[in-house]
Amino acid sequence: MTFTEAELAFLRTQRIGRLATVSPGGQVQNNPVGFFLNPELGTVDIGGHNLGATKKFRNIQAGSTVSLVVDELVSTDPWVVRGIEIRGTAQALTGVEPPVPFFSGELIRIRPVRIVSWGLDGPTASRTVAA
């Protein structure tokens, strides 16, 4: 399994993450994105309005690896945060059925390679999930 049960439970409660990509020239870009779990494939799928026209989509078409961070501040007193970072490879897909009707037919599909989670189920956990 790609994600632990605690990670899946957390991700199912969230709708927005921050996706980092790198351009062919080495410039990092980080943007908020909507995401959806794809449990059949063990991936995270990102959709959006006119996604195919975005810099992040072009960066992935050019071969960028990615990092998606999903986190939340649970409490400020005491300070409690929880979240997950999903590092991996990504595909820029076109002509796909949008995950919701108002999204375009492009999709970014992330295949996790390394997962780091904190505050979800015990101490910080970090593991490689793919070769």
Over residues 83-121, the pLDDT tens digits come to 999 999 999 999 998 878 889 999 999 999 999 999 997
Element (DSSP H or E) covering residue 23: none
15-25 pLDDT, tens digit per residue, is 999 999 999 99
Instruction: Domain count for the chain, please give it.
Output: 1
Per-residue pLDDT, 40: 86
Burial class (CB in 10 A: 0-12, 13-18, 19+), 82: middle
The whole-angstrom separation of Cα 7 and Cα 86 is 11
Q: How confident is the model at residue 1 (pLDDT cuts 50, 70, 90)?
A: low
What CATH number does residue 37 fall under?
2.30.110.10
For residue 121, give its domain range. Answer: 5-128
CA 95 remoteness from chain centre? 20
User: DSSP letter at 97?
Assistant: P
pLDDT tens digits for 24-62?
A: 999 999 999 999 999 888 899 999 999 999 999 999 999
